[in-house]
Amino acid sequence: MGWLDKNPPQGALYYQRRWVKLDVDYLRYFDNDKQVYSKGIISTASITNVTSVGELKFEVITNNRTFIFKAESDAERKEWVTVLQDSTRGRQRRSTLNPGSPLSPEFKGYLELKGLRSKLYTVVTSDKVFLYKNMEDYRIGVGITSIEMNVGNVKVTDRRSFDLTTPYRIFSFIAESEQLKDQWVDTMRDAIGEALSNREVADQIWAEPSNSFCADCGTPKPEWAAINLCVVICKRCAGEHRGLGPNISKVRSLKMDRKVWTEELIQVFLLLGNNRVNSFWAANVPPSEALSSLSCSDDRRRFVTNKYRHGKYRKYHPLYGNQRELNNALCINVQCSDVLETLSLIFCGADVNCSTGMASCPTPLSLADTHAQPLQAVLLSHNLNTDLPRSEVDGGMEEVHFPAPTCVYHNGFLFKTGSMARAITERKAKEEFSRRWCTLNDCIFSYYESDKNSNPNGALRASEIVCLAVDVPEKHGYEHTFELYSESDRLYLFGTDDPNSHKEWIKSIAKSFIPAKAEPLLRLGFERIGRLKCKDGLNLQTSKVGWFALVGSTLHAYLKDSQEEEIHLRKLNELSIQQDNGVLVLVERGRTLYIEGERKLDFAGWCAAIQSAAGSGGDTLSQQQLTDTDIPVVVHSCVDYITQCGLTSEGIYRKSGVNSRVAALCERFRQDARSLRLKEGEHQVDDVSNTLKRFFRELEEGLFTSEDGGTWLTTTAIQDESMKISQYQKLLNKLPRVNRATLRALINHLYCVQRFSELNQMNLHNLAIVFGPTLFQTDGKDYTAGRAIEDLIQYYTLIFEVDEQQLKKQLEEITVIIQVREKLNTKFPSTEPGGHFICTVYLEEKKDTAEQHVKIPASMTSAELTCEILDRRNIPVKDKEYWNCWEVIDKEEMERPLHYRERVLPILHSFGTDSHLLIKKHITMEAMIIYLASKVDPSKHGMMKFREERSILGLGLSSGSFHDRYFILNSSSLRMYKEVRSNRPERDWPVKNLRVYLGIKKKVRPPTCWGLTVVYESKKQDKAERQQWYLCCETQPEMREWYATFLSIQNDGDVWPQEGIQPSRVSRALPDSRHGNVSLIPLRGSENEMRNSVAAFSQDQLAGRCLASSGDLATLQ
């Protein structure tokens, strides 16, 4: 290969510089040395002569064309001429008609390539696609390019259009008709399969002549095998073998399943061969039932089932019917080399796992290994779990088959969409459904064009159905729909407007594929039912098959050899998905269940359904995510956080938080309370306390229930203390279980808060005034609700029958927490005014007239700072305007828009003297949002130019220049490869540790002006490590797409707030000194002020009772 100048076809005087490659079959020339697909190819078989002409030039001559090339030196020309002559000398023409054409074209014809005005003559061979200008060029062997199909993927895009996608380019073709499009697609997909296959095993197996024909129908060159049955079969028969299930026939490809074909297994197939093995399997086939290569699918299915499931045609062993003798004969035979006899014994009922009676060799497999019989061992190992007809030790032998699901019969009209290979993400209109006659017969679900047709459009065996999902009403155009997921990872959607028909179909289909041991699941009103593989904490080595049904927020499961289990999803300690290995992790108290994804489609459906069911299901207490003790997670999290961080906060529960942050916390708790971890510094005490109050205020039915809420309030009027406590206990026991547990936890918390009122100034009365209207959801115009809460806190130990020792221990633990926090007072960032960080922020540009001095609390986000500046300047935010806070580093000539939820204070602490914050519009944000919305795959890959800040050991890159590298960015990492074809990445960075800036400093001489500066920060052995490198893109849109993908992945798809940035979002509500018409006792002030407040409060008719219970004035301070 090398650079040559080529004379264009028109014979112009000038030459074009081309990168030229020569291999055994073709001389190819490219625009440059980076291109993968050539500008032209010349078949070496069509070259008739190569001669030197003129100064530094040489001619490549074919029958119809002459190509002129020019070298840079005479020595180079001489080398090219010699090599070309050697490569073409003595080559045989492949045919007199097509001397330079690819061998054995599978399909050929004209296709239109989008972007070109004319059609191209396209030829599909076994593993390549060739493009020619016309049929004449194909005939003489002069083409445009060839496409290796081992890196290709074919996708239908329109009625006549389809894409051939490779890592280097997408070829968009348009066929002449829809029928021809289907033929092109099928042929190219076959070429991909051929390109990915390995003929080595097939050639070895076919070396036995009888293996060159299908053992069932006689089709030549069969490419599949049932490795436990020892038969070589064709593609169509292999499909029927798969229908039997892997417990009967383990189907593997001769070309693609290379790993399974050990040398021993290949020797078994060569030793037996289809003829010998059929002397057992097909010894008694009636001529009327025999298959041919032209047999239809129904005939093949019937024959394969009879031959292998029922053993109808097999040659019965003389010992058939005597289990003990069969087992003894097997143990004796595996010690010799007669593999066919072993096959006969196994499939006539001998137990592969029987006991040999010898401690050193307890099983037939260990006997075979001990006596050095590897072929016997491999046959036994592939049949350890095969379902076979069995005989009893005592009595006569009867055929006993593996129990199939109960046969169910049902038929009727349904409406069906086309089958899909991806999840349904949008509503399907009625127009997208087609009316089909459907039947469920003999465990086969078939659908026909009409009830008059005899041949089905398609069919699903019950054994192929892995999941049935029942959609909510009106999810699609038809009111009632359901989804079927198949073993081949396809999704089928059916619908009807008749609820009774819908119910019957679901019942019938579920019954057809759910085994007898899991039949109780069928009695449930399930939303999703099916088969999954799983592991539990007791055995993580092996997976077991389980049958699952999702009903509301409960997952019912039948695991292997176990009774029905119930998993309450809203009570899980943890629910997560391990994306790398496709595992759904469910953590209960004392147990972890790992659900594995065998197939992407139905596993994704299960994950989404389980995650949705595990979330909050509504606004009542019982519909919340709960702890083991039946307390809503939101209540438990807020109470725990305030106990740890807020018991010494003055005015806790009285002071208001930031409305926007409280609303955001409520929404996050509502979406998935389990995943939210409240952290000091990130979440503020007042925000959390207001979140808890808002939760109870907005609770449907209320904490005390709408039915009995009034009774709780009237109980406050009872004067006798013992009678009042007794009535409260009766009402408490009448509450639903979750309400009762929640009330106990909340009153326990409030009791602890008022016990430390000397620190937080929230005594019994103040807490009652705050929580009375909140918990009873009243307007607060009188103190009745407050009186009820005050009673519950005051008589807490009696009403709830609290263990005094446990309560004392709890209070001691809280005291220790407070003492520890006092000692570590400087450890946590302050949110008080004294802890604010004052910095200079610029508006739109860095100049004196644009600067603003702002106090930055630890909790302030980028969006809040932006709104603060816009509020000061009275700048309204218009629609489609994306105001953002930017981190600008002058020295490095780069800038970065802060994410709207990103905390500002950590950025300020990391600032250098050449950095500043700037508020300005993000002019490309809308384009980024549109791009991200159009992406199907969240990842991105492509070529970029790379340069590191310093030399990194092992890369061998010069620090003074940029180098082309291939990058793959996914949800977990950014990987860099030396080239597209590389298998191993040169570098792999965790994407969450990357900080990406727009711009590259001119000092490093970037090849384009569209670049990114990437900073990687991590800790190794407690030492901070920082790396910086540069990425250059060819165009601005390309850079924008890379940056948008980084931003989306690092923030889990949340790039910009849906409601936009609103300048009023950071306003704090001023604390009100009254709750309804009831005055709060001041937190601080002179004794006179407090007396005046108490006097105002005493106007309430129950004030005397309040003051008496509160003690003297000293207790109010």
Q: What pLDDT, in 10s, does the model give residues 142-165?
A: 999 999 888 888 888 888 899 998
Lowest pLDDT segment from 311-325, 474-488, 609-623:
609-623
- Give the integer Cα–Cα distance in Å for 313 and 279: 10
* pLDDT tens sequence across 557-570: 888 666 788 888 88
For range 1020-1048, the mean pLDDT = 84
* pLDDT tens sequence across 182-209: 889 888 888 887 777 777 888 899 999 9
Global pTM value:
0.42
Please give the pLDDT value at position 1043. Answer: 93
Closest CA to 490 of 537, 445, 441: 445
Q: What is the DSSP letter of 72?
A: S
* pLDDT tens sequence across 1055-1105: 888 777 766 444 433 333 334 444 444 444 433 443 343 333 333 333 333
- Give the integer Cα–Cα distance in Å for 44 and 41: 9
Confidence of residue 1116 (pLDDT cuts 50, 70, 90): very low
Instruction: Tally Cβ neighbours within 10 Å of residue 102.
Output: 23
Please give the pLDDT value at position 401. Answer: 31
In Å, what is the CA distance from 427 to each residue of 279, 436, 959? 56, 20, 53
Please give the pLDDT value at position 700. Answer: 86
Please give the pLDDT value at position 1012. Answer: 93
AA identity, residue 756:
F
For range 834-862, the mean pLDDT = 77
Of 1066 and 853, which is predicted with more confidence? Answer: 853
Please give the pLDDT value at position 600. Answer: 85
Helix H, strand E, coil C: the string for 647-706 is CCCCCCCCCCCEHHHHHHHHHHHHHHHHHCCCCECCECHHHHHHHHHHHHHCCCCCCCCC
- Give the integer Cα–Cα distance in Å for 1096 and 1078: 9
For range 901-916, the mean pLDDT = 80
Please give the pLDDT value at position 1031. Answer: 93
User: Does residue 406 surpass a pLDDT of 50?
Assistant: no
Lowest pLDDT segment from 111-125, 336-350, 492-506, 685-699:
111-125
Q: Which two tokens stand for residue 130?
A: 């060739």
User: Does residue 809 surpass a pLDDT of 90?
Assistant: no
- Give the integer Cα–Cα distance in Å for 53 and 58: 5
In Å, what is the CA distance from 473 to each residue of 470, 477, 509, 659, 922? 9, 10, 19, 37, 42
For range 118-143, the mean pLDDT = 89
- Give the integer Cα–Cα distance in Å for 863 and 634: 26
In Å, what is the CA distance from 828 to each residue of 680, 831, 907? 7, 9, 17
Q: Which two tokens stand for residue 462?
A: 């019950």
Confidence of residue 709 (pLDDT cuts 50, 70, 90): confident
Please give the pLDDT value at position 1093. Answer: 39
Please give the share of the chain, as a percent, with pLDDT higher than 90: 30
Give the pairing type, strands 153-156 and 161-165.
Answer: antiparallel
CA angle 1088, 1093, 1098 (to 5 degrees): 120
Closest CA to 704 of 670, 746, 765: 746
Of 94 and 324, which is predicted with more confidence? Answer: 324
User: Does residue 905 surpass a pLDDT of 60?
Assistant: yes
Closest CA to 251 of 267, 265, 264, 235: 235
Confidence of residue 539 (pLDDT cuts 50, 70, 90): low
For range 712-733, the mean pLDDT = 91
Confidence of residue 828 (pLDDT cuts 50, 70, 90): very low
* pLDDT tens sequence across 949-994: 754 433 444 456 889 999 999 888 999 998 888 888 888 888 888 9
User: Does residue 390 surpass a pLDDT of 60?
Assistant: no
For range 852-879, the mean pLDDT = 84
Please give the pLDDT value at position 210. Answer: 94
* pLDDT tens sequence across 27-84: 999 998 888 999 999 988 888 889 998 888 999 988 888 889 899 898 999 999 998 8
Please give the pLDDT value at position 676. Answer: 84
Assess contact for 200 and 259: CB atoms under 8 A. Answer: no
Q: What is the DSSP letter of 850?
A: G
Please give the pLDDT value at position 109. Answer: 92
Please give the pLDDT value at position 408. Answer: 64
Segment holding 869, helix H or strand E: helix 862-872
* pLDDT tens sequence across 73-112: 989 999 999 988 888 775 544 433 343 445 557 789 999 9
* pLDDT tens sequence across 288-307: 889 998 888 889 999 999 99
For range 1003-1019, the mean pLDDT = 86
For range 1037-1061, the mean pLDDT = 88
In Å, what is the CA distance from 241 to each residue of 224, 227, 246, 409? 10, 11, 9, 23
Of 1108 and 942, which is predicted with more confidence? Answer: 942
For range 757-763, the mean pLDDT = 90
356 Cβ contact partners less than 8 Å away, ≥ 6 residues apart: 331, 362, 363, 364, 366, 367
Please give the pLDDT value at position 453. Answer: 78
- Give the integer Cα–Cα distance in Å for 547 and 524: 13
Please provide the average confidence, as pLDDT, over all residues in the chain: 82
